[in-house]
């Protein structure tokens, strides 16, 4: 739907972003927004394509948000490929790339401490307790600046999608949140900027994550139990089974395997790289 035979605009400035979006809205055009941290791959471009189906104008932000990284995490080494990202966005027909510096998002003296809601409990938060508060703070600020009609979030970060849906509801924002299906490589590996960290050997193991998640677990009754007669709940059984299979496949550590929102969700480590994925049950 997007109207696009003019070159993509790019700004680092909130005021320029707001002026442009206001002009579009005054002309009756709907605005879809895709927030990213850059290092763009086909998964991000699929979000852009979805955005273009829903609105006349598409804004993409590129901002590596320090607030969602703990001090020991990879903020410093997170891949930054701005020029290549901008070329991809231009080719994808994006109208405006917003590439703010930190001061534009976190002006001094304007701290906010929005807390992530119920959806943030468990799963990622058990292992990255800072993460969703960092996400909701940056997303709320970006929403306030971009004022989109629609915002697209990938289903790969399924819990994040749920946290953002809850945020919009809690803040009463007139923004429609749309989840985009997970983009995968030919082996089913969910595309992620962090896949760039994987060695060839690790990549081969990483590709087993989705395969193992998809495997049907045998029913609990068909598995002998240590205590003889102890009844395992099917979820516990499936969870342990999947964890075991991941470790056997070569993953170094499994943070969680859980079922929620009609999905089976997992996070596991390969060396220094943490991968997440989920599938519909
Ligand atoms: O999913 C991401 O890339 C980030 O968490 C987001 C939504 C851009 C916020 O920094």
- Per-residue pLDDT of 103-152, as tens digits, reads 999 998 666 789 999 999 999 999 999 999 999 999 999 999 999 999 99
- Spatial distance between the Cα atoms of 281 and 263, rounded to a whole number of angstroms: 5
- Whose CA is closest to atom 3 on ligand 1? 36
- Check residue 190 and report its DSSP letter: B
Task: State the Rg of the chain over Cα.
Answer: 20
SS3 of 234, please? helix
Pocket test for ligand 1, best of 33, 34, 37, 142 (most atoms within 8 A of CB): 37
Q: Which atom of ligand 1 is nearest to the CA of 135?
A: 9
**Measured torsion, CA atoms of residues 263, 269, 274, 277, in degrees rounded to the nearest 10:** -20
SS3 of 189, please? coil
- Centre of ligand 1 to C-alpha 35, Å, is 6
**Measured torsion, CA atoms of residues 8, 40, 61, 53, in degrees rounded to the nearest 10:** 70
Higher-confidence residue of 68 and 215: namely 68
Task: Tell whether the model's pLDDT for residue 4 goes beyond 80.
Answer: no
Instruction: Name the token pair of 188.
Output: 């089913």
Q: Report the relative pairing of strands 57-62 and 96-98 from DSSP bridges.
A: parallel
Phi, psi of 172 (to 5 degrees): 65, 35
Q: Which atom of ligand 1 is nearest to the CA of 154?
A: 1
Q: What is the pLDDT of residues 189-238, one digit of tens each?
A: 999 999 999 999 999 999 999 999 998 655 544 455 554 444 444 566 68
List 41, 44, 72, 187, catalytic entry: 44
Count the neighbouring beta carbons within 10 Å of the beta carbon of residue 70. 12
> Does residue 51 contact residue 59 with C-beta atoms inside 8 Å?
no
- Check residue 136 and report its DSSP letter: H
- Ligand 1 in reach of 157 Cβ (< 6 A): yes
* DSSP string for residues in 33-90: EEEE-S---HHHHHHHHHHHHH-SEEEEEE---GGGS-TTSSTTTS---HHHHHHHHH
pLDDT classification of 59: cutoffs 50, 70, 90: very high
Mean pLDDT across the chain: 92
Global pTM reads 0.91
Residue 44: active-site member: yes
- Ligand 1 in reach of 36 Cβ (< 6 A): yes
Phi, psi of 48 (to 5 degrees): -65, -40
Name all domains of the chain by residue range, CATH numbers in brackets.
9-180 (3.40.50.620), 193-280 (3.30.1300.10)
Helix (H), strand (E) at residue 255: strand 253-260
Closest-CA residue to 177 (of 195, 157, 197, 193) = 157
Task: Tell whether the model's pLDDT for residue 165 goes beyond 90.
Answer: yes
> Does residue 97 contact residue 10 with C-beta atoms inside 8 Å?
yes
Residue 265 CA neighbour count, 13 Å, CB half: 18
- Centre of ligand 1 to C-alpha 24, Å, is 25
- Whose CA is closest to atom 1 on ligand 1? 36
| β-sheet with 9-11: strand ranges across | 9-11, 96-98, 57-62, 31-36, 150-154, 176-180
- Whose CA is closest to atom 6 on ligand 1? 36
Q: Which atom of ligand 1 is nearest to the CA of 164?
A: 7
């Amino acid at each position: 739907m997007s109207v696009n035979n003019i070159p993509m605009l790019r700004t680092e400035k909130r005021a320029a972003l707001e002026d442009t979006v206001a002009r579009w809205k005054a002309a009756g055009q709907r605005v879809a927004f895709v927030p990213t941290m850059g290092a763009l791959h086909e998964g991000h471009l699929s979000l852009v394509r979805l955005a273009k189906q829903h609105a006349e104008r598409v804004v993409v932000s590129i901002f590596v948000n320090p607030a969602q990284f703990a001090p020991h995490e990879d903020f410093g080494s997170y891949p930054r490929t701005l020029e290549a990202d901008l070329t991809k966005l231009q080719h994808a027909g994006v109208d405006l790339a917003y590439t703010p510096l930190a001061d534009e998002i976190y002006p001094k003296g304007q701290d906010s401490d929005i807390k992530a809601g119920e959806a943030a409990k468990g799963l990622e938060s058990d292992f990255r307790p800072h993460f969703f508060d960092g996400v909701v703070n940056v997303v709320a600020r970006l929403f306030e600046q971009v004022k989109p009609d629609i915002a697209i979030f990938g289903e790969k970060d399924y819990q994040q999608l749920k946290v953002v849906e809850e945020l919009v509801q809690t803040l009463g924002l007139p923004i429609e949140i749309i989840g985009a299906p997970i983009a995968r490589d030919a082996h089913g590996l969910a595309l992620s900027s962090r896949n760039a960290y994987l060695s060839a050997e690790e990549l081969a193991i990483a590709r087993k994550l989705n395969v193992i998640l998809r495997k049907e677990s045998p029913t609990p009754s068909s598995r002998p139990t240590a205590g003889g007669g102890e009844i395992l709940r099917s979820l516990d059984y499936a969870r342990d089974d999947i964890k075991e299979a991941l470790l056997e496949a070569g993953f170094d550590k499994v943070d969680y395997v859980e079922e929620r929102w009609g999905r089976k969700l997992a996070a596991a480590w390969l060396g220094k790289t943490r991968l997440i994925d989920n599938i519909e049950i």
